[in-house]
Amino acid sequence: MIKTMVVWCLISLLFIINTIPVLTAGECSYGSVHAWFRTTSGGEWENATAHPWLKRGESFDIKTVLTAKADLQVFFVKLHEFGTPVFEVVEGPTMMEQLLECRQNILSDQTFTYVWKMRVISDTTWVNGYGPLEVFVQFNKNDTAEYRVGFDVITAFIMDELWEGYLQENISENHSSETIHGGRLPGFEVGGMFIAVFLLCTFIRLREKMR
């Protein structure tokens, strides 16, 4: 009987240890942060911490929603990873390991939403293993009162295989870049071309009159 009670106590203790950090990781007295993950191929948003299987070069989205629980002076947000680089930002408010700083007048119950389009680095050497992507947040009530929270948005298993959509995605990105930066001559080049043609025509006419 005593042994059975001891076993149940140990099981309950392990359950509490494993559960409490997950439930309180994004909460503090100054604010809360919640995060979601989805594949960019039309996937649904999954609550953190998600455990997807991703290929090299595969893209995905990360969304975080911060809610202030008190009037704040500033808060900071950062996407962070440990060890060998696995992830990179394609589009978003910050790059990896770059602090996003919000210093506006932050009121209690105010929310802020940030979305990153990301992908696994196509030539990452960290493969056939798990790569965690952490969101780090620091809430500052004033210069001396601050609170930090952090947890994994995803813990992805990285497969040593190039994603099928990687090349197509790169072609689309390059095409968009050429459309924006090229494909049309600047105005001064077009004007210069017309002036050169006009002068050439004038020169030819004068030469014919002189004959």
Three-state secondary structure of 186-206? CHHHHHHHHHHHHHHHHHHHH
Check pLDDT > 80 for residue 204. no
Number of H-type helices and E-type strands within the chain: 3, 10
* Tens digits of residue pLDDT in 32-54: 999 999 998 778 999 999 999 99
Sign of CA dihedral 70, 154, 94, 96: positive
| Averaged pLDDT for residues 151-178 | 82
Distance of CA 205 to the CA centre of its chain: 63
At residue 3, does pLDDT exceed 70? no
pLDDT at 42: 75
Cα–Cα dist 159/161, whole Å: 5
* pLDDT confidence band for 187 (50 / 70 / 90): very low
Q: Does domain 26-164 have CATH number 2.60.40.1940?
A: no
- pLDDT tens track for 53-95: 999 999 999 999 999 999 999 999 999 999 999 999 999 999 9
Looking at residue 50, its pLDDT comes to 96
Closest residue by Cα to residue 70 from 100, 114, 42, 106 = 106
Q: What does the domain layout of the chain look like in residue ranges? A: 26-164, 176-210
pLDDT at 12 over 60: no
CA dist 193 and 195 (Å) reads 5
Is this structure's pTM higher than 0.75?
no
The average confidence (pLDDT) of the chain is 81
